[in-house]
């Protein structure tokens, strides 16, 4: 009893000088790697916004208890400029200097493929919101993603073109130096031909960041007389390709992948992109209460509606933070194991990972109508 009274008196004395016997609090760092500058900067802005919003909500809700210590997150965002080399440097900085407990990113598969070996070697969990190339998570068991992968996405658009648009021939124009573009092109071609279609032209270019003239490839494509033009490229290139195609009189229906998801597609392409269709992970027009609550909150916070990159980054960060809270540990292997066994339900769907830490998810088809993204349909795996 005397000992208990002594402890109470000590606490009272400490409280009297402004310290107090309060629960300990801590802060740990979480990193993000996104393309904040360059031709794909809209991807980075959306991804950063979604991640930061999830972190803010996590902290406001009380964070996580780690070893009896209430712990919140300090978010550190790095610009990869859409460069694998810059992304690798950012990963080293976050892991070696900032001692992050995890990394959200990257956006582009080529950057994630540079970041993943660094995170894997350090035992730091990485979850990419949007890197769809199948090779990304095969780097190791600390690497996850929040999106479907290119074998599914490429096949979705192949089936849509053949079965819904009723086209029997198609042409493909892609960047053969980019893992995302190249993989999506290959899976579209394989899927389209498997169900009876014919790819009559399969043209490539190199360096999407710098190429602005596609007339040589489009001339070959036009001569092949395709009924459909597949452009598995990022929004800036796809918009230019469609403008040049239309100027040449190549006016067939066109489609692409989730790299089209930017308001800049219409700003750059104008009328040339009207009627274009693309596969995506999320639609702001989804009527579910959870999606509409997210859309409203994001729009209020950032002044514009969220795109799929914002939704996936929000999900990726939320999934990671949920695993961190479940693990109650800053140890990479503990967070990794909690992520593997997650039952997290996000904005873009429920998450259950397969053996390669890829989620099994649906895709949506979006069409540009009067300059706006319009939801058409959902395609289940």
Instruction: Assign residue 121 the CATH number of its domain.
Output: 3.40.50.2300
In a domain, 29, yes or no: yes
Same domain assignment for residues 268 and 321: no
> When comparing pLDDT for 19 and 266, which is higher?
266
Same domain assignment for residues 176 and 98: no
Question: Could you read off the pLDDT of 41-91 as tens digits, one per residue?
Answer: 999 999 999 999 999 999 999 999 999 999 999 999 999 999 999 999 999
Same domain assignment for residues 275 and 160: yes
Q: What is the chain's mean pLDDT, rounded?
A: 92
Asked if pLDDT for residue 118 goes beyond 80, the answer is yes
Same domain assignment for residues 234 and 371: yes
pLDDT at 21: 41
Same domain assignment for residues 166 and 63: no
Same domain assignment for residues 374 and 246: yes
Query: What is this structure's pTM?
Result: 0.82
In a domain, 18, yes or no: no
Say which residues have a Cβ less than 8 Å from residue 125's Cβ, sequence separation at least 6.
101, 102, 103, 119, 142, 143, 144, 320, 323, 332, 335, 336, 339
Is residue 96 helix, strand or coil? helix
Same domain assignment for residues 157 and 274: yes
Residue 126 half-sphere exposure toward CB, CA atoms < 13 A: 36
pLDDT at 378: 87
Same domain assignment for residues 297 and 225: no
Asked if pLDDT for residue 96 goes beyond 80, the answer is yes
Say which residues have a Cβ less than 8 Å from residue 232's Cβ, sequence separation at least 6.
154, 172, 174, 180, 181, 184, 185, 188, 256, 257, 259
Beta strand spans in 169-306 (E): 169-175, 198-205, 229-230, 254-256, 277-280
Same domain assignment for residues 36 and 141: yes
Same domain assignment for residues 224 and 370: yes
In a domain, 55, yes or no: yes
What is the percent of the chain with per-residue pLDDT over 70, rounded to a whole number? 94
Q: How many domains does the chain have?
A: 2
- What is the distance between the alpha carbons of residues 196 and 288, in angstroms, rounded to a whole number? 36
Return the DSSP state at 223. Answer: H
pLDDT at 13: 40
In a domain, 14, yes or no: no
Quickly state the pLDDT bin for 214 (edges 50, 70, 90): very high
Range of the domain at 228: 150-280+366-379
From its phi and psi, is residue 362 left (phi > 0), alpha (psi between -120 and 50) or beta?
beta
Question: Could you read off the pLDDT of 128-177 as tens digits, one per residue?
Answer: 999 999 999 999 999 999 999 999 999 999 999 999 999 999 999 999 98
From its phi and psi, is residue 105 left (phi > 0), alpha (psi between -120 and 50) or beta?
left
Same domain assignment for residues 271 and 303: no
Quickly state the pLDDT bin for 15 (edges 50, 70, 90): very low
């Amino acid at each position: 009893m005397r000992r208990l009274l002594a402890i109470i008196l000590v606490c009272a004395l400490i409280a009297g000088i402004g310290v107090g016997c309060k629960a300990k609090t801590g802060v740990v760092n979480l990193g993000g790697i996104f393309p904040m500058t360059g031709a794909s900067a809209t991807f980075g802005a959306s991804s950063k916004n979604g991640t930061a919003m999830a972190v803010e909500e996590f902290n406001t809700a009380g964070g996580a208890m780690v070893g009896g210590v209430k712990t919140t997150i300090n978010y550190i965002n790095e610009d990869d400029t859409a460069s694998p080399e810059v992304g690798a440097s950012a990963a080293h900085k976050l892991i070696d200097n900032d001692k992050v407990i995890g990394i959200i990113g990257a956006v582009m598969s080529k950057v994630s493929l540079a970041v993943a070996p660094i995170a894997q070697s350090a035992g730091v969990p990485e979850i990419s919101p949007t890197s769809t190339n199948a090779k990304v998570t095969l780097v190791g068991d600390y690497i996850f993603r929040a999106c479907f992968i290119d074998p599914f996405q490429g096949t979705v658009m192949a089936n849509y073109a053949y079965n819904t648009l009723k086209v029997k021939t198609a042409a493909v124009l892609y960047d053969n130096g980019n893992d995302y573009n190249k993989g999506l092109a290959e899976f579209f071609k394989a899927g389209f031909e498997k169900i009876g279609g014919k790819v009559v032209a399969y043209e490539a270019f190199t360096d999407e960041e710098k190429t602005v003239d596609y007339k040589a490839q489009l001339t070959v494509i036009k001569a092949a007389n395709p009924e459909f033009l597949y452009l598995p490229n990022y929004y800036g290139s796809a918009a230019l390709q469609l403008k040049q195609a239309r100027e040449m009189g190549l006016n067939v229906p066109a489609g692409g992948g989730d790299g089209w998801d930017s308001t800049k597609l219409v700003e750059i392409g104008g009328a040339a992109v009207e009627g274009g269709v693309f596969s995506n992970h999320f639609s702001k027009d989804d009527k579910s209460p959870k999606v509409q609550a997210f859309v409203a909150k994001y729009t209020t916070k950032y002044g514009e509606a969220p795109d799929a990159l914002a939704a996936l980054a929000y999900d990726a960060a939320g999934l990671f933070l949920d695993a961190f809270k479940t693990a109650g540990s800053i140890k990479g292997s503990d967070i990794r194991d909690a992520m593997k066994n997650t039952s997290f339900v996000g904005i873009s769907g429920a998450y259950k990972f397969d053996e390669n830490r890829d989620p099994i998810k649906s895709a949506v088809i979006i069409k540009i109508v009067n300059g706006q993204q319009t939801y058409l349909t959902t395609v289940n795996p």
